[in-house]
Amino acid sequence: MVYNLKNDSNNWRLTSLFTGTTIKHLAGKSLAKYPLAIPPIEEQKEIVRRASELFQIADQIESRYQKAKTHIDHLTQSILAKAFRGDLVPQDPNDEPASELLKRIKAEKSRQEVESKPNRKPGTKKRREKKRAGA
């Protein structure tokens, strides 16, 4: 019914059923007069048969997608595990261990946080508030 209404609305076939002058609407009485196009039973059966086939194909695709997703998830985990073990590329004996790199990164973050904080003397905010209240 929705598709029939949409189609007939787009083709201006519903215009004769609308009521109202400024804001057009479709009243229940008018809707009761609306001729609903229903295909013959054989065509309905064919529509259902084709839709069922498409749903089966969609189910198969969904199943294949889930299998591929599971495979990718496991692959990602195994790649990460190899990366953390250092198995992906040959290791240079001159490279620092990952633990040392992590320590340097933490220290750099801490230094940046300290530098980004504004330098204010203790009590500066209170003195400003007192000045505003007294002025």
The pLDDT tens digits for 103-125 are 999 999 998 888 887 666 666 66
Residue 120, in any domain of the structure: no
How far is residue 135's CA from residue 127's CA, in Å, rounded to a whole number?
A: 12
User: What are the CA-CA distances from residue 32 to residues 19, 26, 28, 29, 38 (Å)?
Assistant: 14, 10, 6, 5, 15
pTM listed for this prediction: 0.42
Residues paired with 25 in a beta bridge: 19
What range does the domain containing 34 cover? 1-38
pLDDT, one tens digit per residue, over 61-116 is 999 999 999 999 999 888 888 887 777 777 777 887 777 888 999 999 998 888 88
Q: Are residues 2 and 32 in the same domain?
A: yes
Q: Are residues 17 and 44 in the same domain?
A: no
How far is residue 133's CA from residue 34's CA, in Å, rounded to a whole number?
A: 75
Q: Are residues 55 and 84 in the same domain?
A: yes
Is there a contact between 19 and 25 (Cβ–Cβ < 8 Å)? yes
Q: Are residues 51 and 75 in the same domain?
A: yes
Other CB atoms within a 10 A radius of the CB of residue 8 amount to 17
Of 49, 69, 88, the residue at which a domain comes to its end is 88
